[in-house]
Amino acid sequence: MEKAIKRIGVLTSGGDAPGMNAAVRAVVRTAVGQGMQCVGIRRGWNGLVHSDFVPMDSNSVGHILSRGGTILYTARSKEFMTPEGREQALATCKLLGLDAVVAIGGDGTFRGALELSRLGMPVVGIPATIDNDIGCTHYTIGFDTACNTAIECIDKLRDTMQSHERCSVVEVMGRHAGFLALYVGIAVGATAVLVPEREFNFEQDVAERIRQSRLSGNTHFMIVVAEGVGSAVDIGKRIHEELGIDPRVTVLGHIQRGGSPTARDREVATRMGYTAVMALAQGNINTVIGTHDGHLVATPIEEALKQTKHLQMDRYDVLEAMHGIRK
Ligand code: F6P
Q: Is 130 in the pocket of ligand 1 (CB under 6 A)?
A: yes
Question: Does residue 10 carry a pLDDT above 70?
Answer: yes
* pLDDT band for position 53 (cuts 50, 70, 90): very high
pLDDT at residue 327, rounded to an integer: 77
Question: How many Å lie between the centroid of ligand 1 and the Cα of residue 227?
Answer: 10
18 close to 268: Cβ distance less than 8 angstroms? no
Do 77 and 98 share a domain, yes or no? yes
Closest CA to 240 of 221, 213, 215, 218: 221
Domain range for 85 is 7-142+261-306
Q: Could you read off the pLDDT of 172-223 as tens digits, one per residue?
A: 999 999 999 999 999 999 999 999 999 999 999 999 999 999 999 999 999 9
What is the pLDDT at residue 3?
Answer: 75
Q: How far apart are CA 22 and CA 259, in angstroms?
A: 13
Of 101, 115, 126, 174, give the one whose Cα is nearest residue 23.
126
The number of the ligand 1 atom at minimal distance from the alpha carbon of 256 is 4
Note whether 21 and 105 are same-domain residues.
yes
Ligand 1 within 6 A of CB of 127: no
Same domain membership, residue 20 and residue 85: yes
227 CA closest ligand 1 atom index: 8
- Residue 115: inside a domain: yes
In a domain, 2, yes or no: no
Ramachandran angles phi, psi of 10, nearest 5°: -130, 135
**Ligand 1 in reach of 109 Cβ (< 6 A):** no
Write out pLDDT tens, residues 127-165.
Answer: 999 999 999 999 999 999 999 999 999 999 999 999 999
**Is residue 131 annotated as a catalytic residue, yes or no?**
yes
Q: Is residue 316 part of a domain?
A: no
Q: Determine the pLDDT at residue 2.
A: 63
Q: Coil, strand or helix: which one is 65?
A: coil
Mark whether 55 and 118 lie in a shared domain: yes
Specify whether the CB–CB gap between 68 and 260 falls below 8 A: yes
Specify the pairing of strand 192-194 against strand 100-105: unpaired
Distance CA 78, CA 81 (A): 5
Based on the structure, what is the number of domains in the chain?
2
pLDDT given for residue 198 in this prediction: 96
- Compare 85 and 294 and report the one with higher pLDDT: 85
Residues 160 and 294 in one domain: no
Mean of pLDDT over the chain: 97
Residue-level pLDDT at 323 = 86
Same-domain check for residues 192 and 113: no
Is 286 inside any structural domain? yes
35/7 Cα distance (integer angstroms):
9
What pLDDT score was predicted for residue 239?
98
Which of 216, 212, 236, 213 minimizes the C-alpha distance to 224?
236
